[in-house]
Amino acid sequence: MGLTSNKVLALAAAAAVLLFAATVWLWPRLAHRGPRAVAGRVALLLATQLSLFAAVGLAANNSFLFYGSWADLFGRQQDMGVVVDHSQGTHLKVVEKQRPGVPGASRPETGGQIHKVVVSGAKSGIDSPAYVYLPPEYFHAEHRDRTFPAAVVLTGYPGTAENLLKGLKYPRTAHEQARDGRMQPMILVMLRPTVAPPRDTECVDVPGGPKTETFFAEDLPRAVSETYRVGTRARNWGFMGNSTGGYCALKIALHHPERFSAGVGLSAYYKAAEDPTTGDLFHGDDRARKRADLLWSLDHLPQGRSSFLVTTSRQGEGNLEGTRAFIKKVKAPSRVSSIVLDSGGHNFNTWRREIPPALAWLAGRLSPS
């Protein structure tokens, strides 16, 4: 059973309850001063405390998905490496097909399908794993010649792409929103912004280093459009993410309106971080540093026809003032919308409240052809 399995959590909670009951039941029998009685009391207390901590830790991990697997928890990797042949014209390789956790998932026509892929960047030289969610309509015979809108979805740093599937439940949410008529069916391309791990490149082209902006702005949509029925125009593509992923989504949509017509930043910040995890991103290039500041860019660079959605909360988020400044600086032909919660921290629970309306907003600004 996996680390995030509800069965594991239920077993841990049951063990904690049983050990607590055993402690209460056996304590009178161990109320002596002998070594065996003392050892018994210590063993019971230790086992009860450990089981309680395990249950609480598993519950917290299931909510926030700090770790996606036992291997992740213990610092081991259990997946074997995937050999990707970089033949000319092949920029995306499907390595596994999965069922999304939705009703009717046994058939792609009713539940859709998730592809685990490896994307090879032709211009950036970056190879990155990703997950592609294909909605049920993609497999309907009457839609075999239809193209679909697509959105790149990023986690924060240093999150894993699995967070988008298990913790934030993007495929399930997209399935439910489309099923209930709140949004058009849409393909999701899900990955983390850390395409050159463990470095946080803040989605910029680092001089002499990873060309992360090129990967997201050019290589990724090209590879997906070559493999799946997705158009190549800006109106066919959106970008969405939380935290660092939200900054990247707004940045790419702002600087590349010819590639993406909409960007969604959930709890985004508005200026590239520079710290030990990023290293030297700009190598003294002040112009590049300023360009990575979205508020500066809105003031000093032409604004295209992109639409933006930004989210924050009046209590619990640190980006409230930055979000207000971003909204004020967006000018025509760009457009901006916002979600402002009364309260909500920088965490999965907050983003789960924002993702359904944000997905519907994004799908409403994209065209399938």
Identify whether 353 is part of a domain: yes
Helix axes 348-363, 170-179, angle to 10 degrees: 40
The predicted model scores a pTM of 0.79
Domain holding 153: CATH number?
3.40.50.1820
The per-residue pLDDT for 90 is 64
The residue to which tokens 């994307």 are assigned: 119
Going by the DSSP 8-state scheme, the letter that residue 80 receives in this structure is P
Identify whether 82 is part of a domain: no
Would you say 96 and 71 are in contact if contact means Cβ atoms under 8 Å apart?
Answer: no
d(CA 303, CA 256): 10
User: pLDDT per position in the chain (369 positions), as tens?
Assistant: 666 667 777 777 887 788 787 777 777 776 777 777 777 777 777 878 888 887 787 777 665 555 656 666 665 544 544 444 444 456 899 999 999 989 888 899 999 999 999 999 999 999 999 999 999 999 999 999 999 999 999 999 988 899 999 899 999 999 999 999 999 999 999 999 998 888 999 999 999 999 999 999 999 999 999 999 999 999 999 999 999 999 999 999 999 999 999 999 999 999 999 999 999 999 999 999 999 999 999 999 999 999 999 999 999 999 999 999 999 999 999 999 999 999 999 999 999 999 999 999 999 999 998
Q: How far apart are the first and last CA of the chain?
A: 43
How far, CA to CA in Å, does 61 sit from each of 4, 64, 68, 167?
7, 5, 8, 9
How open is the CA angle 175-359-328, to the nearest 5 degrees?
Answer: 175
The per-residue pLDDT for 61 is 67
Burial 261-280 (b: 16+ CB within 10 A, else e): bbbbbbbbbbbbeeeeebee
Phi, psi (deg, nearest 5) at residue 327:
-60, -45
Taking only the tens place, the pLDDT of each residue in 140-152 is: 999 999 999 999 9
d(CA 127, CA 31): 63
Residues 64 and 136 in one domain: no
d(CA 368, CA 273): 35
Identify whether 369 is part of a domain: no
Q: Which amino acid, one-letter code, is at 269?
A: Y
Taking only the tens place, the pLDDT of each residue in 200-236 is: 999 999 999 999 999 999 999 999 999 999 999 999 9
Q: Which tokens is 242 given?
A: 């939380």
Residues 181 and 248 in one domain: yes
Residues 92 and 49 in one domain: no
Residues 53 and 104 in one domain: no
Can you say how many angstroms the Cα of residue 199 is from the centroid of all Cα atoms in its chain? 17
- Long-range CB contacts (within 8 A, 24+) of 133-136: 133/100, 133/170, 133/171, 133/174, 133/187, 133/188, 133/190, 134/108, 134/187, 134/228, 135/174, 135/175, 135/178, 135/185, 135/186, 135/187, 136/104, 136/108, 136/109, 136/110, 136/111, 136/112, 136/175, 136/185
Count the domains in the chain: 2
The per-residue pLDDT for 71 is 61
d(CA 310, CA 298): 15
Residues 38 and 97 in one domain: no
Domain that residue 106 falls in = 88-363
Would you say 238 and 221 are in contact if contact means Cβ atoms under 8 Å apart?
Answer: no
Identify whether 354 is part of a domain: yes
The per-residue pLDDT for 1 is 64
Identify whether 114 is part of a domain: yes
The per-residue pLDDT for 3 is 66
How far, CA to CA in Å, does 199 sit from each of 158, 220, 243, 273, 280?
9, 19, 16, 12, 11
The per-residue pLDDT for 136 is 96
d(CA 241, CA 297): 20
Domain boundary among 41, 72, 103: 72
Number of other CB atoms surrounding residue 107 within 10 Å = 12
Residues 307 and 246 in one domain: yes
The per-residue pLDDT for 231 is 94
Q: Which amino acid, one-letter code, is at 344?
A: G
How far, CA to CA in Å, does 90 sit from each of 187, 214, 219?
20, 18, 12
Identify whether 306 is part of a domain: yes
Which of 263, 220, 268 has the alpha carbon at shortest distance from 244?
Answer: 268
d(CA 344, CA 327): 20
Dihedral sign of CA atoms 355, 361, 364, 366 in order: negative
Identify whether 246 is part of a domain: yes
Residues 94 and 53 in one domain: no
